[in-house]
Amino acid sequence: MLAGFGDRGTGEVGETLDSLELTWLITQVEQRYGVELDLSDEVFAHMGTVTGAVDTLARVLPGASGHG
């Protein structure tokens, strides 16, 4: 999904997310899954990497079952 930000190849997406990438990712997830995520600053702070974002989104999305 992050490769769509800036039309990059999947191999061009690094592990660290900047604030624009993270905001874009959250917006994309909200649109794709038809939800509105109200993330606290504490939760948001754990999303500075791709791994952290995936883990956090798996916890906060309704019906999410983790990686996979």
pLDDT, residue 48, reads 93
Tokens of 64: 């999410």
pLDDT, residue 50, reads 93
- Residue 23, CA distances (Å) to 28, 39, 65, 68 in order: 9, 11, 22, 22
User: pLDDT truncated to tens, each residue of the chain (68 aa)?
Assistant: 887 888 788 888 889 999 999 999 999 999 999 999 989 999 988 999 999 999 999 998 877 655 44
pLDDT, residue 64, reads 65
pLDDT, residue 67, reads 47
Residues 13 and 2 sit within 8 Å (Cβ to Cβ) = yes
